Amino acid sequence: MRTTTPSQDFIRGIWNENPVLIQMLGLCPALAVTNSVANALAMSAATFFVICCSSVLVSAFKRFIPNEVRISAYILVIATFVTLADMMLQAYAPAQHKELGAFIALIVVNCMILGRQEAFSAKNNVFRSLLDAIGTGIGFTIALVMMGGFRELLGTGSFLGVSVFGPNFEPWVIMVLPAGGFLTLGFILLAMGYFEQRKKAKTALTAEASS
Amino acid sequence: MNDQTLFSIFFSAMVVNNFTLAMFLGLCPFMGVSARVETALRMGLANIFVLVLTSLAAWFLNSFILEAVPYLRIISFIIVIASLVQIVEMVVKKISPALFRQLGIFLPLMTTNCAILGLAIFQTNRGYGFMQGITFAVGAGLGLTLALVLMASIRESVELSDVPNVAKGTGLVLIIAGTLSMAFMGFAGLL
């Protein structure tokens, strides 16, 4: 078992091991539904619900799940909660449900969720698995809202439907189209790579100065 | 029932609504196995095979079983896909161990490939019949293969060129994908 404190379990997923931006998991929803902030939020909420519930259930039942069929068992658990989330969205937020369409059902195949079950919930107790799931869920939400924010802001000049740049703004239509999704994530990753490199250069410089 | 012609379904799935570049389905293998043209091509062919099988299975489930229990749709689709992938994995391992090694983790990961489940769900939502479903699957599979091979050929040349340090890795791949996606937007309005 790894030696991490519960608070580390919680924080890890949010930034240092952010599922979308660092681990490149769950890219399909991150790119497909982030053409507006509202869609990104609805998708994050549904994913958050699914990952928390499945982590708790998987870690609670880990003793009864045979090792040979564990992946199938995890997928079944996830699929059950996705069906629930699908029905709840349909009942309480029909507009978002229609907008997201098939992508709600596709939460089943979000590798991020299955990855957390296999890597964490299967080996840790319920409390820590829940913390880990919440952290990962928040990390996913941050990435999605960040992308949704960029794309909606540039693509339509508004944020959550409220106009930001005024009527004279010429929208960059490409940003809300599929190509914009790839470009936005690409540029976010390039920026992160740049800062990472600068940080590394700085630490190398201080190390040289102190020696 | 849907009354689109087979040709328009095929063409729409292959280029206009390309699974990878316009609908973001199946991105994991798109990023993972697109470094070599040959592997990409084989992955694409394996994908077509699984997609057609899935389409058949989804049609069968929809027409004979799921009418009574529509809320079991997602669960039954994913079980069927998981078993199909398992079978394909065994067959590939038996017939071509070299290909099995090359595809590595991405073969079992096909279970969690959004393109496969996505195909089953789109097919159901749009009410495609038997032939329409198969045409849709072949079109989508060819579209995936096309995107994979295009990406792999570009990445093979990028590897030989002088790229700034910052851009090495996934960031650049995504921007190339964005450019390809823009190119594919040219097909919009064709149908």
Give chain A positions within 8 Å (CB) of B164.
Answer: none
Nearest to B75 among A80, A106, A194 (CB): A80
What is chain A's alpha carbon radius of gyration, rounded to the nearest angstrom? 19
Complete DSSP assignment for chain A: -----HHHHHHHTTTTT-TTTTT--SHHHHHHSTTSHHHHHHHHHHHHHHHHHHHHHHHHTGGGS-GGGHHHHHHHHHHHHHHHHHHHHHHH-HHHHHHHTHHHHGGGG-HHHHHHIIIIITTS-HHHHHHHHHHHHHHHHHHHHHHHHHHHHHHHSEETTEESS-TT----GGGGSHHHHHHHHHHHHHHHHHHHHHHHHHHHHHHHHH-
Residue A191, domain extent: 6-210
Contact A182 B109 (CB under 8 A): no
Question: Each residue of A113-143: pLDDT tens digit?
Answer: 888 888 888 888 899 999 999 999 999 999 9
Q: How far is B134 from chain A (nearest CA, A)?
A: 19
> Mean pLDDT across the stretch A41-58?
93
A1 inside domain: no
Percent of chain A with pLDDT over 70: 98
Residue A158 φ/ψ region, left for φ over 0, alpha for ψ in the -120 to 50 degree band, beta for the rest: beta
Average pLDDT over residues B169-185: 87
In angstroms, rounded to a whole number, what is the distance separating the alpha carbons of residues B40 and B43?
5
Q: What is the pLDDT of residues A18-45, one digit of tens each?
A: 888 887 888 888 888 888 888 899 999 9
pLDDT of A95 strictly over 70: yes
Q: For residue A182, give the nearest of B25, B75, B178 by CB distance.
A: B178
Cβ-based contacts under 8 A for chains A and B? 121
B32 pLDDT tier (thresholds 50, 70, 90): confident
| pLDDT tens-place string over residues A57-83 | 999 998 888 887 888 889 889 999 999
* CB distance A36 to A148 below 8 Å: yes
> Cα–Cα distance between A106 and B117 in angstroms, integer?
7
- The pLDDT, as a whole number, for residue B56 is 92
Task: Reply yes or no on whether the pLDDT at B3 is more than 80.
Answer: no
Distance CA B24, CA A40 (A): 15
**Residue A130 counted as domain residue:** yes
Does residue A116 sit within a domain?
yes
pLDDT at res. B137:
93
pLDDT of residue A1: 47
Average pLDDT over residues A99-126: 86
Q: Is residue A17 part of a domain?
A: yes
Residues of A in contact with B125 (CB under 8 A): 101-102
pTM for this model (two decimals)? 0.86
Query: Is A80 a member of any domain?
Result: yes
ipTM for the whole predicted complex goes beyond 0.90: no
Examine the pLDDT at A3 and tell me if it is beyond 70.
no
Most confident of A23-37, A40-54, B3-17: A40-54
Determine, yes or no, domain membership for A75: yes
Which residues make beta-bridge pairs with A162?
A159
Partner B contacted by A186 (CB < 8 A): yes
A28/B25 Cβ within 8 A: yes
Domain count within chain A: 1
